[in-house]
Every structure is written in C-alpha cells, then in structure tokens.
Amino acid sequence: DTAVSQTPKYLVTQMGNDKSIKCEQNLGHDTMYWYKQDSKKFLKIMFSYNNKELIINETVPNRFSPKSPDKAHLNLHINSLELGDSAVYFCASRASGSSYNEQFFGPGTRLTVL
C-alpha cells in the first residue's frame, strides 16, 4: 500500500555515467515533484509536473531531464554525472484540485557519484 515509491533506494556510480531514478505514486495525484537534499540536509525543489506537463524548472542543469510517461510516474534521468550530483533525491506528489495542497514524499534515492 505504498503511496509514493522510488527506485532504486541507493545508487552508486562513477563520474560521467548516465543514470535514471524512477518514481511512482498510487494516490491518484496529478502533480509530481523532484526535490534534492544536499550534504547539508537542505531540501530544494528541482521540477514539478502537472498531468505530464512541466510546470516548474528551478534552473537545474540540463543534464537533468525529467520525464513523465503518465500522471502516476515521474522519472529523473541524469547525464554525465558529476561529483556535485551526490545527494538524496526525493519525489513527491499532490492532488492539484485539493484546497489542502498537501505534498506527500517518497523514501528518497541516495545517489553517490565517485
């Protein structure tokens, strides 16, 4: 009965590689997000999608390309990984029609670039 799930949970890779992180939500939400938590534990939004359409892009390098095949999924592909990409990446979702506007977060993917 997982609400927002992410795969993989851990990802260790070499500099220069290309990798993807997947996110799925079974809450019936239509808006999904990617956040990055850096080594100092500071959380910052990267992207948001509503009904598969990109809404927010917070000046993230174009090596990061989100893709939403349907409104239940939002994947994050990263090209040419750099050391500074090491972080925990969180996916979140919410129902845009809800006046409550609460966001629900996944368990995170810890990316380590060597």
Partner 1 sequence: KQEVTQIPAALSVPEGENLVLNCSFTDSAIYNLQWFRQDPGKGLTSLLLIQSSQREQTSGRLNASLDKSSGRSTLYIAASQPGDSATYLCAVSDNTDKLIFGTGTRLQVFP
In the complex with partner 1, the residue whose CB is nearer, 41 or 69, is 41
List, in order, residues 6 or more apart from 9 with CB less than 8 Å away: 107, 108, 109, 110
64 binds partner 1 (CB under 8 A): no
Q: Alpha-carbon distance 105 to 87, whole Å?
A: 16
Give the shortest CB-80-to-partner 1 separation in angstroms.
26
114 binds partner 1 (CB under 8 A): no
26, 58, 61, 80: residue in contact with partner 1 (rule CB under 8 A):
58
Separation of CA 1 from chain center: 20
